[in-house]
Amino acid sequence: MIKGFDKLQRDLALAQEALQELDGDLCSVKFDPYDPASIEQAIQYVVDLIESRVGAYGANPIVGPIIENMKEHYRQGIIERAAEARMSGEEE
């Protein structure tokens, strides 16, 4: 048997479990685009939700980077939505 293959199989199985936890809509967040504290609370809410669903898989070499990328993706998305809302409000 190939050395390390069992570990890879376990890592892949855990990755599949973690991804199933994230299947579907993650959540909806509302925030005041003019209030930095509200934006930060929305970001923290999403980070906490991701951690609550898949944080236990964070040590998995496949899942850990996916979790961190998801957190960053959602953080950027919230920041961009806030900026767009402020810009559209300024134009009115």
pLDDT by residue (tens digit) across 14-52?
Answer: 888 888 877 767 788 999 999 999 999 999 999 999 999
d(CA 36, CA 31): 9
* Banded model confidence at residue 91, pLDDT cuts 50, 70, 90: very low
Is the pTM higher than 0.75? The answer reads: yes
- 49-76 average pLDDT score: 91
d(CA 88, CA 8): 49
Q: Is the dihedral of CA 23, 52, 66, 16 positive or negative?
A: negative
Q: Which amino acid is at 60?
A: N
Which stretch of 9-13, 18-22, 49-53, 57-61 has the lowest confidence by average pLDDT? Answer: 18-22
Sequence-ordered list of residues with C-beta below 8 angstroms from that of 70, at least 6 positions apart, any chain: 22, 50
Which stretch of 4-8, 48-52, 54-58, 69-73 has the lowest confidence by average pLDDT? Answer: 4-8
